[in-house]
Structure 1
Amino acid sequence: MKIGIIGTRGIPNNYGGFEQFAEYLAEGLVKRGIEVTVYNSHNHPFQEQVWRGVDIVHCYDPEDKYGTIGQFIYDLNCIIDSRKRNFDIILQLGYTSSTVWGWLLPFRKSIVTTNMDGLEWVRTKYSKPVRKFLKFAEYLATKFSNHWISDSIGIQEYLEKEYKLQSVYIPYGAFAFENPDVSALEKYQLSPFQYNMLIARLEPENNIETILDGVVESKIDKPFLVVGKHETSFGRYLKDKFKDYPHIQFIGGIFDINVLNNLRYYSNLYFHGHSAGGTNPSLLEAMASGALICAHQNTFNGAILEKDAFYFKESGEVSAALQNVQKSEHLTKTEANVEKIRKIYSWEIIIEQYLNHFLEIYKKDKVLHNA
Structure 2
Amino acid sequence: MLNQKHLNILGIRGVPGSHGGFETFATHLAPYLAAKGWSVTVYCQLDPVEEGIVPDSFEDEWKGVRRVHIGTERTGSVGSVIFDWRCIRDVLRRPGIDLVLGYNTAVFCILQRLYGRRVIMNMDGIEWKRGKWRWPIKAWFYVNEFIGANLANRAIADHPEIARHLKRHGCFGSVVIPYGSDSITSADESHLAGLGLEKSKYIVSIARIEQENSVLEFVRAFSRKTRGIKLVVLGKFDPNNDYHTRILEAASDEVIFPGAIYDAGIVSALRFFALAYVHGHQVGGTNPSLVEALGAGNAVIAHDNRFNRWVAGPEQFYFGSEDDFDAVLETVTRSPERVEHARQAARGRHSANFTWDIIFKAYEDLLLKYVK
Tell me the TM-score normalized by structure 2.
0.89
**Among 305, 309, 333, which residue is 2:312 paired with?**
305
d(CA) in 2 for partners of 1:274 and 1:355? 29
Trace 1:101-180 onto structure 2 (pairs within 5 A): 101-105=108-112, 108=115, 110-180=117-187
**Residue 93 of structure 1 corresponds to which residue in structure 2?**
101
**Residue 60 of structure 1 corresponds to which residue in structure 2?**
71
Which segment drifts farther, 332-341 or 210-219?
A: 210-219
- How far apart are residue 214 of structure 1 and its match? 1.2
d(CA) in 2 for partners of 1:77 and 1:271? 39
Q: What amino acid is the match of 1:54?
A: V
SS of the aligned residue for 1:333 comes to: helix
Trace 1:177-196 onto structure 2 (pairs within 5 A): 177-196=184-203
**Among 339, 355, 358, which residue is 2:367 paired with?**
358
Q: What amino acid is the match of 2:269?
A: N
Q: Which is richer in helix?
A: 1
Which segment drifts farther, 293-302 or 246-255?
A: 246-255
- How far apart are residue 310 of structure 1 and its match? 0.5
- How far apart are residue 309 of structure 1 and its match? 0.9
**Residue 276 of structure 2 corresponds to which residue in structure 1?**
269
1:126-155: per-residue Cα shift (whole Å, max 9, x none)?
123322221111111123311111111111
CA distance 1:146–1:48, change in 2 (3 Å): closer
CA distance 1:211–1:287, change in 2 (3 Å): same
Q: How many residues align?
A: 356
> 1:225 touches 1:248 (CA, 8 Å); kept in 2?
yes
Trace 1:231-270 onto structure 2 (pairs within 5 A): 231=238, 233-234=240-241, 237-239=243-245, 241-243=247-249, 245-270=252-277
In structure 1, the gaps of 5 or more residues are 367-371
Which segment drifts farther, 287-296 or 202-211?
A: 202-211
Runs of 4 or more, structure 1, over 6 Å off, are: none
Is residue 370 of structure 2 the alignment partner of residue 334 of structure 1? no
- How far apart are residue 331 of structure 1 and its match? 1.1
**Residue 38 of structure 1 corresponds to which residue in structure 2?**
42
- How far apart are residue 241 of structure 1 and its match? 4.2
> 2:233 touches 2:256 (CA, 8 Å); kept in 1?
yes
> 1:7 touches 1:94 (CA, 8 Å); kept in 2?
yes
1:106-137: per-residue Cα shift (whole Å, max 9, x none)?
65353101001011111111123322221111
In structure 2, the gaps of 5 or more residues are 49-57
**Among 4, 16, 19, which residue is 1:15 paired with?**
19
CA distance 1:216–1:63, change in 2 (3 Å): farther
Is residue 90 of structure 2 the alignment partner of residue 81 of structure 1? yes
- How far apart are residue 324 of structure 1 and its match? 3.1
**Among 190, 209, 215, which residue is 1:208 paired with?**
215
Equivalent pairs: percent with the same residue? 33
SS of the aligned residue for 1:307 comes to: coil
> 1:218 touches 1:320 (CA, 8 Å); kept in 2?
no
d(CA) in 2 for partners of 1:241 and 1:351? 38
Is residue 62 of structure 2 the alignment partner of residue 51 of structure 1? yes
**Among 268, 282, 294, which residue is 2:301 paired with?**
294
1:33-59: per-residue Cα shift (whole Å, max 9, x none)?
111111111139xx9722211111111
**Residue 27 of structure 1 corresponds to which residue in structure 2?**
31
| CA RMSD in angstroms, aligned pairs only | 2.1
CA distance 1:162–1:103, change in 2 (3 Å): closer
d(CA) in 1 for partners of 2:19 and 2:238? 14
> 2:8 touches 2:97 (CA, 8 Å); kept in 1?
yes
Q: What amino acid is the match of 1:150?
A: A
Which segment drifts farther, 243-252 or 3-12?
A: 243-252
Is residue 321 of structure 2 the alignment partner of residue 314 of structure 1? yes
CA distance 1:113–1:242, change in 2 (3 Å): same
**Residue 369 of structure 1 corresponds to which residue in structure 2?**
none
**Residue 52 of structure 2 corresponds to which residue in structure 1?**
none
Tell me the TM-score normalized by structure 1.
0.90
**Among 5, 21, 26, which residue is 2:9 paired with?**
5
